[in-house]
Structure 1
Amino acid sequence: MDYYPHLRLAEVERVPLTGVENVPYSPLMEPLTNLLALATAYAAHTGLSESTVSRLVLKNGSRLRELREGGDIGVRRVDAGLTWFSAHWPDGVDWPAGVPRPYLPSKGT
């Protein structure tokens, strides 16, 4: 069954993704792009290396680099990474514009 009949790889626009050339654009790629943007911003604001951020968020110090080089990742793992950033975002630092912030229920809920 074709769940995304409107997304045909041959017809999609190709846009640059940080560190990857000629990646086919799809709205399904936005969470990955957002994850990489959050990782870059988080590392810049905390002074942590990308490998340390990768280890904290994805439990693998080379995973963010691999993704920038064109590696793949499952949807659940991306979602867990986005949620991690939302829960651990530094106080006083603006969340990056254009990146939807995952909802985190309060601890009492």
Structure 2
Amino acid sequence: MTPTDQLLALSKSYCDLRGISERTASGIIFRDSRTIVRVKAGGSLTLKSFERAINWFRENWPDNAEWPAGVDRQPLPTRAKRKEAANA
């Protein structure tokens, strides 16, 4: 599963669980209601935006909900954590 596929699987599952639209989720995560729709249509994201979205889903996933198959649940290192590790 590609990173884009993982993001879209998380988005679809989360929206289905919460009963919200992908535009609503996109607005919450990216502060832009069109981002997920754009990615779905073949658009791209910066690595920073992708990491923020994946980590947001991990932090906000409903406790009683199953995590989508094929999507790693380990948090992605943020830019600050990568920089910190490089300086250690």
TM-score bucket (shorter structure): 0.7 to 0.9
**Structure 2-normalised TM-score?**
0.79
Q: Answer yes or no: is the 8 Å Cα contact 1:34–1:99 preserved in 2.
A: yes
4+ long deviations beyond 4 Å:
none
- Indicate the structure with greater helix content: 2
Deviations 1:45-70 (A, max 9, x none): 00011100011112110111111111
2:54 counterpart SS class? helix
**Structure 1-normalised TM-score?**
0.65
Residue 42 of structure 1 pairs with residue 14 of structure 2: yes
RMSD of aligned alpha carbons: 1.5
Aligned residues: 76
Aligned to 1:53: 25
- Which blocks of at least 5 consecutive residues in structure 2 are unaligned? 77-88
Residue 32 of structure 1 pairs with residue 4 of structure 2: yes
- Which blocks of at least 5 consecutive residues in structure 1 are unaligned? 1-26, 105-109
Indicate the structure whose relative CO is greater, using CA pairs within 8 Å and at least 6 residues apart. 2
Q: Answer yes or no: is the 8 Å Cα contact 1:57–1:84 preserved in 2.
A: yes
Aligned to 2:83: none
Residue 68 of structure 1 pairs with residue 40 of structure 2: yes
Larger Rg: 1
- Cα separation, 1, equivalents of 2:5 and 2:74: 15
- Cα separation, 2, equivalents of 1:101 and 1:60: 24
Distance change (3 Å), C-alpha of 1:97 and 1:72: same
- Indicate the structure with greater strand content: 1
